[in-house]
Amino acid sequence: MMRSEPRAVQLNEHGQLKHFLTLDGLDKTLLTEILDRAESFLSMGEQSVKKVPLLRGKTVVNLFFENSTRTRTTFELAAKRLSADVINLNIETSATSKGESLLDTLKNLEAMQSDMFIVRHSDSGSAHFIAEHCTPNIAIINAGDGRHAHPTQAMLDMLTIRRHKGGFEGLKVAIVGDILHSRVARSQLQALTTLGVSEVRLVGPKTLVPSFFAEMGATICHDLEAGLKDVDVIVMLRLQKERMKGALLPSESEFYRLYGLTVETLAWAKPDAIVMHPGPINRGVEISSEVADGKQSVILDQVTNGIAVRMAVMSMAMSGQLQSADSSAAGEEK
């Protein structure tokens, strides 16, 4: 079956989000709207009552077919702060273990009158597939699909960069490590180029940083010193051993020696460079503890910003769904 273009699937007839599947095809205005809305939610986390009624009466189902700590928890917190009712389906104890197919599971959750599915899955394209096969009035939010996309992670990273650097213009960003298997790197590259940074460098061994990424607007770099020289932002990535087929690396210790971020290698970047990591971090494999816990690290800010970004995306998608339903109803009445 032919797939629809992501833009056609995730935007309604007014150009508003109704699903959030990928950053591919989303313009700077829409990405900036997400960041601005997230900014407005950030201060709410410091108030004694951390709730707004934007999703009151709505049912959000967290469907994580792959493990997660940060994304699952911050989506749940975000949904609760928007006053939604939240269900966390435990996949291990669900009927999936008795052979129920993904679509049959979803049809049952649809029958429970759900309004939004937050989906993480190891298969690339799964969120898009679900958006095309579910009832159209259920908003689908991609919480990471295979090596394809992790759009809310990229947007929380953009919010973190904007808050620390004041904007995107003129910035040089290095993304270091296992680019090949990283949905985060793909979504970050789309966001950074759309928002207008001056350069994105993808840094790592040839086996993990293939040359085809240059076609997406990145500079490819196999030498850490050259890759970090004068950058404003460093994003370190974990080695995704669970997705590696064959021997792509001599050893973890060799990788750390050549590409690890330590106090010494961090000195190649600008003195005020920020250090980011989507997590989970592997200390002594891609980053030293001194750097991960050091004063240039903004890794835990990323986690906090994730709640606000997810609130922004969920409230925008729900609003886009309602506008779409209103337009359809008005069309039927004519």
Binding site listing: 70-71, 98, 120, 150, 153, 183, 238, 279-280
- One residue of 10, 153, 188, 288 binding ligand CP per CB under 6 A: 153
- Could you give the string, one character per residue 242-281, with x where binding to ligand CP holds by CB under 6 A and - elsewhere? ------------------------------------xxx-
Helical residues (DSSP H) of the chain, grouped into ranges: 6-10, 28-42, 70-81, 102-111, 126-133, 151-165, 183-195, 224-228, 252-259, 263-266, 289-292, 299-333
Q: Give least dist CB 69 to ligand CP, A.
A: 4
Establish if 151 lies at the interface with ligand CP (CB under 6 A). no
Establish if 12 lies at the interface with ligand CP (CB under 6 A). no
Establish if 187 lies at the interface with ligand CP (CB under 6 A). no
Amino acid found at 310: R
Task: Between 170 and 280, name the residue whose CB sits nearer to ligand CP.
Answer: 280
Cα distance between residue 117 and residue 105, in whole Å: 12
Cα angle, residue 223 at apex, residues 203 and 189 outer, rounded to 5° = 15
Q: Are 255 and 286 in contact (CB under 8 A)?
A: yes
Establish if 144 lies at the interface with ligand CP (CB under 6 A). yes
Amino acid found at 284: G
Task: Between 77 and 325, name the residue whose CB sits nearer to ligand CP.
Answer: 77
- One residue of 37, 70, 107, 229 binding ligand CP per CB under 6 A: 70
- One residue of 71, 142, 321, 324 binding ligand CP per CB under 6 A: 71
Q: How many CB atoms lie within 10 A of CB 135?
A: 11
Cα distance between residue 48 and residue 56, in whole Å: 19
Applying CB under 6 A, the span of 68-76, 122-130, 165-173, 205-213 interacting with ligand CP comes to: 68-76
Q: Before 210, cis peptide (omega within 30)?
A: no
Binding-site annotation: residue ranges for carbamoyl phosphate: 70-71, 120, 150, 153, 279-280
Binding site for ligand CP (CB under 6 A): 68-71, 144, 153, 278-280
